[in-house]
């Protein structure tokens, strides 16, 4: 069996390729970026540089594959998706062309990585949010731009299964984090951004940290190991509807900073930018459906996951300072 991972040069894709290499599964790793910009390059994989938004390229990389994990998308943290709505929407080209390529190549199974950004915004106005169930995506009012593309592509995956027999599976990722990902440059998400800011104070490179909003907005964050396990089990399973894949450990951004202070053994001064992008006020994952189908749920604590994430980012910053 040959597995194709698109977006393999990205954060989740790189870890997923590593998973298949470790278990001895042949894997074709594809990304639009040059190899030296991939977060992880696995020599034992078939590493291909290709733009899967192009139909010819999509069809070429899909040939001979049994399972496709489509993770390729133009995305980032809240600062990116709020200011680049058109770019986020253009990911529909990749989603569409990879589905067509999978159908035409006779691929058995197709995984689409959706997002918690598909959920109705009216259900996320309170930091003490009720955890989101899968049915809360409708009536549709998702995150503008990025969320609409994800919701549309979910439906497209469903209809490819119904009309063409392509076995599609969809997971709604909730804030995945961990080492070997974006930690600077504007596309990073909160765990990486705050780890970098705290590390900068620890290294004497900054006097304080900036927090977007008042820090009382709430989220749940899923460690990458739980994400990889859930992703592979979802594609291998028989459940066909979109399902949450996320931690149910709800925290405020201020509480995340508290955890990072404990990990770094430092207290930081905090500045709050109330004009910065903040997204919805509260969002959490209801894992009732996932647990009933797969018998477990993401359980890596935020402290344990941040400890590994912070250590990796701290090392990157230390190496740069030394250089």
Residues with catalytic roles? 146
Q: How far is CA 257 from CA 196, 230, 239, in A?
A: 11, 27, 37
CB 152 within 8 A of CB 163: no
Q: How far is CA 47 from CA 44, 53, 271, in A?
A: 9, 17, 43
Q: How far apart, in whole angstroms, are the C-alpha atoms of residue 177 and residue 101?
A: 30
Is the bond preceding residue 139 a cis peptide, omega within 30 degrees? yes
Q: How far apart, in whole angstroms, are the C-alpha atoms of residue 225 and residue 176?
A: 9
Convert 210-238 into a string of H (helix), E (strand) and C (coil): EEECCCCCEEECEEHHHHHHHHHHHHHCC
Q: How far apart, in whole angstroms, are the C-alpha atoms of residue 231 and residue 227?
A: 6
């Amino acid at each position: 069996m040959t597995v194709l991972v698109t977006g393999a040069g990205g954060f989740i894709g790189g870890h997923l390729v590593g998973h298949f290499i470790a278990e001895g599964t042949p894997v074709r790793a594809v990304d639009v970026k040059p190899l030296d910009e991939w977060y992880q390059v696995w020599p034992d994989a078939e590493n291909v540089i290709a733009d899967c938004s192009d139909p010819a390229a999509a069809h070429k990389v899909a040939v001979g594959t049994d399972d496709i994990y489509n993770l390729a998308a133009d995305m980032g943290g809240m600062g990116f998706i709020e200011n680049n709505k058109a770019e986020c929407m253009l990911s529909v080209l990749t989603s569409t062309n990879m589905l067509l390529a999978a159908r035409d190549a006779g691929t058995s199974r197709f995984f689409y990585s959706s997002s918690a950004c598909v959920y109705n915004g009216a259900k996320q106005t309170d930091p003490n949010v009720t955890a989101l169930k899968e049915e809360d995506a409708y009536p549709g009012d998702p995150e503008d731009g990025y969320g609409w593309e994800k919701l549309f592509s979910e439906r497209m995956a469903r209809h490819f299964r119904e009309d063409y027999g392509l076995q599609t599976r969809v997971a709604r990722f909730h804030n995945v984090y961990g080492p070997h990902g974006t930690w600077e440059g504007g596309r990073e998400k909160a765990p990486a951004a705050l780890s970098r800011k705290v590390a900068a104070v620890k290294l004497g490179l900054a006097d304080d940290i900036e927090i977007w909003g008042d820090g009382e907005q709430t989220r749940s964050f899923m460690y990458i190991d739980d994400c990889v396990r859930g992703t592979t089990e979802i594609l291998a399973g028989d459940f066909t509807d979109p399902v949450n894949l996320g931690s149910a450990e709800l925290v405020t951004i201020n509480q995340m900073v508290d955890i990072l202070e404990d990990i770094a053994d430092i207290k930081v001064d905090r500045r709050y930018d109330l004009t910065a992008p903040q997204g919805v006020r509260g969002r959490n994952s209801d894992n009732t459906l996932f647990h009933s189908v797969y018998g477990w749920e993401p359980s890596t604590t935020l402290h344990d996951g941040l400890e590994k994430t912070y250590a990796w980012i701290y090392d990157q910053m230390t190496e740069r300072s030394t250089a």
